Copies of this chain bind each other. A is one copy, B any other.
Amino acid sequence: MLKNDAFRSMDRQECLRLLAKVPVGRVVYTRHALPAVLPVNFALDADSSVLLRTSAGSDLVRAVDGVVVAFEADEFDADSRSGWSVVVTGRATAVTDPAEHEQLMRTGPRSWMPIQQDVFIRIEAAMVTGRELTDLRVND
């Protein structure tokens, strides 16, 4: 966003490596024509898509199935004013293939919430961007 020395852009592999370290990210989408955001726990699939597990009747499934969403994760440290953020942007789709659903029931993420009728949502890692913010206090 801002071009200055405090930020370092990260390549796709570095972004995905950091993303794999954190349990919670945020789905960013549109709901009733307003920007919406929902924190969820997630897992990365072998193809680097983001996997979420939710309930079949959830607002989230209705809002994101078939549309392009962003998925963000980050870690920041207030004392050193440093950290990183990664954004995955791509189409979200509910997994409908029975064999894939069965496999994800065994190997996919477990939701931190109670689930009614499990649905897995896959967010394609079509675009992966990230940046690292380094400590600036030495310049204060």
* A37 and B87 in contact, given A28-B28, A81-B112 (Cβ under 8 angstroms): yes
A70, B139: Cβ atoms under 8 Å?
no
Contact A114 B136 (CB under 8 A): yes
For residue A101, CB closer than 8 A to chain B, the reply is no
Complex: how many Å from CA A57 to CA B58? 39
Other-chain contact of A2, B2, B23, B54, B69 (Cβ < 8 Å) = B54
Given A38-B85, A113-B133, list of 8 further CB < 8 A pairs?
A1-B59, A2-B54, A2-B113, A26-B72, A30-B35, A34-B70, A37-B70, A39-B85
- Sample 23 A-B pairs with CB under 8 A, ordered by A number: A1-B38, A1-B58, A2-B54, A4-B113, A24-B74, A24-B78, A26-B74, A28-B28, A28-B35, A28-B36, A30-B30, A30-B35, A34-B68, A34-B89, A35-B35, A35-B68, A35-B89, A36-B87, A37-B37, A37-B87, A81-B112, A112-B136, A113-B133
Chain A contacts to B: CB under 8 angstroms = 1-2, 4-7, 23-24, 26, 28-30, 34-39, 41, 54-55, 58-60, 68-70, 72, 74, 76, 78, 81, 83, 85, 87, 89, 112-114, 133, 136, 139
